[in-house]
Structure 1
Amino acid sequence: MKLLTFIENKKYNLGVHTEDGEGILDIAAAAAAFEGAEGVPLTVQEVIEGGLAALDKLRAFVEAVLSSDGHHAFIRPESALTLGPCVTHPNKIICVGLNYRKHAEETNAAIPLYPILFNKFNNTLAGHGEDIPLPKVSSEVDYEAELVIVIGKQAKYVAKEDALSHVFGYCNANDLSARDLQLRTPQWLTGKSCDKFSPLGPYLVTADEVGNPNELSIKCIVNGEVRQGSNTSDMIFNCEEIVSYISQYMTLVPGDIILTGTPEGVVLGKPAEERVYLQPGDVVSIEIEKLGSITNTMVAEG
């Protein structure tokens, strides 16, 4: 199932992508019109926090609506919607640095013995199609295509073998990075946490639909040119290892998101004289197999 968030009347609303390509089913509008909609989750956060019971309830409701004669009244064209981040209220945004072997090599970094963790905050969230302001205080903003793990069940001291059973689903992210700010100190926080530096989406795809997250093609496309082209199989620490490792040190809760690292091809990985960082007007798309593509345009801040 592919879930998304769209913004209407300054509120986040839940939409479900229809498999036949009709468009997006507006869950709140359908629930207001159909009998038997009691308990159907109306936001993506309610689906995640409600676990399997909420997901099953939503699936059954969607099937009932789409099989009804009047369902077209609740289908919205995706292109007409203003999308928000596909996960709206993460308790934690955890990121893994230098987690692709070839990316570590291109930046002349040692292969990590343990996952390198850092964090972002909710101010970095953005949706598909949203403009991303390039901070006035940076001239070196870089793109980073990343697979995101979305936690669906509380996880603490989880074994690798059981880790993926705690995952709700996956989505695309652009882990935008102001390199001049990031590398100013040993801590990367400043360069990673500028406003809207974590566009997520367009869809949150449930784990059953994705299958093995460790064998997905991943791309970053800038102004029509493929800059990053790799596969999640190049990860140094795979998805189950990441979830298990983080759960040894903190309790992961439903809605937490984990950005799993970026492959080779970033601007920072080029020789200094060839580095051209993102500029206003640049259009950046992150595309991961089975997850769709999220596109954002860079604009001057303010």
Structure 2
Amino acid sequence: MKWARAITGDGTEVTGVIEGDQLHPRAALGSSEGAGGAIDLADLSLLPPVVPGKFIGLWNNFKAAAEKGGMAHPEHPLYFFKADTSLSGPGAEVTLPAAAGRVVFEGELGIVIGKTCKAITPEDAADAILGYTCINDFTSLDVLNADPSFPQWTRAKSFDGFGVVGPVIETDLDWRALTIRVLVNERERQSYPASDMILPPERIVSALSQDMTLNPGDLIACGTSIGARPVKAGMAVDVVIDGIGQVGVTLVAEPA
């Protein structure tokens, strides 16, 4: 089942399930209650499929990247938060502020929480996951490393538009079979298997729920692997995960 969020021509926002070439509105994300008649996808503009209360990102969660960087495998997720205003979706223009300096893309698999959970086991965590989506976790390397006394994770990842999410949330798939790819100007620049994760989704959700209550709609980016590269204004950057879809944005320079 594919969940999407979109806006109609008259500015009405709808959330629902995609079936064929139509979106069937629902009362809320994950709800079985209908909220109106089906709408042709051609008459809608897709938005990020979820507006997260918490947008959490992981660091050092793939074996290949850990080996290349000489990093030990973490026992607990190493995480940061992205600002809610970093959220952007399919077809957006993302401004690269001059203050951001060097920016890299990071194609990632995203977990969307479907149920409130606190201190749950990995076994119970599977039931708390609504589904999965594509994420591009843009990061300013210059900001991140600007002060040697304090890596600025939140600032480096929270510029407006730096959290690209979409196009849908897929509820029925095996995450182990997925490959995360990034295309820059239609050329593949990153490709790695989700199965190379150090901490799998159930362990991520369980561990994070020990630290904080997770609520429906919370979003967790599972981290990236080798292949993240710098990008610049004028480039089109797409994250592709077969079984979920493709979410692309165009990078633009900050106005003078």
Q: With the length of structure 1 as denominator, give the TM-score of the two structures.
A: 0.77
Q: Is the 8 A contact 2:101 2:143 kept in 1?
A: no
Aligned to 1:6: 6
Whether 1:202 and 2:202 are equivalent positions in the alignment is: no
Q: Please give the secondary structure, in 2, of the residue aligned with 1:155.
A: coil
Whether 1:290 and 2:243 are equivalent positions in the alignment is: yes
Q: Which runs of 5+ in 1 are unaligned?
A: 28-39, 49-53, 66-70, 268-276
Whether 1:183 and 2:153 are equivalent positions in the alignment is: no
As a proportion of its length, which structure holds more helix?
1
What CA distance in whole angstroms lies between the structure 1 residues aligned with 2:203 and 2:17? 30
Aligned to 1:161: 123
Q: Is the 8 A contact 2:60 2:74 kept in 1?
A: yes
What CA distance in whole angstroms lies between the structure 2 residues aligned with 1:110 and 1:135? 33
What CA distance in whole angstroms lies between the structure 2 residues aligned with 1:214 and 1:155? 23
What CA distance in whole angstroms lies between the structure 1 residues aligned with 2:74 and 2:62? 10
Aligned to 2:74: 112
Partner deviation per Cα, 1:225-282 (whole Å, 9 max, x = no partner)? 2111111110010001100000011010111111110121112xxxxxxxxx211111
Greater C-alpha Rg = 1
Closer/same/farther in 2, CA of residues 246 and 257 from structure 1, 3 Å limit: same
Q: Is the 8 A contact 2:106 2:224 kept in 1?
A: yes
Shift in Å, 1:3: 1.8
As a proportion of its length, which structure holds more strand?
2
Q: Is the 8 A contact 2:16 2:29 kept in 1?
A: no
Q: Please give the secondary structure, in 1, of the residue aligned with 2:220.
A: strand
Shift in Å, 1:114: 2.5
Q: Please give the secondary structure, in 2, of the residue aligned with 1:153.
A: coil
Shift in Å, 1:161: 1.3
Q: With the length of structure 2 as denominator, give the TM-score of the two structures.
A: 0.91
Q: Is the 8 A contact 2:18 2:24 kept in 1?
A: no
Letter aligned with residue 140 of structure 1: R
Letter aligned with residue 215 of structure 2: V
Aligned to 1:32: none
What CA distance in whole angstroms lies between the structure 1 residues aligned with 2:11 and 2:60? 37
Q: Is the 8 A contact 1:214 1:239 kept in 2?
A: no
Q: Please give the secondary structure, in 2, of the residue aligned with 1:112.
A: coil
Letter aligned with residue 85 of structure 1: P
Q: Which runs of 5+ in 2 are unaligned?
A: none
**Alignment RMSD, CA only?**
2.0
Larger relative contact order, structure 1 or 2 (CA cutoff 8 Å, min sep 6): 2
Letter aligned with residue 168 of structure 2: Y
Q: 2:84 aligns with which of 122, 126, 151?
A: 122
Partner deviation per Cα, 1:97-124 (whole Å, 9 max, x = no partner)? 1111112233443433431011112101
Identity of aligned residues (%): 35
What CA distance in whole angstroms lies between the structure 2 residues aligned with 1:93 and 1:204? 15
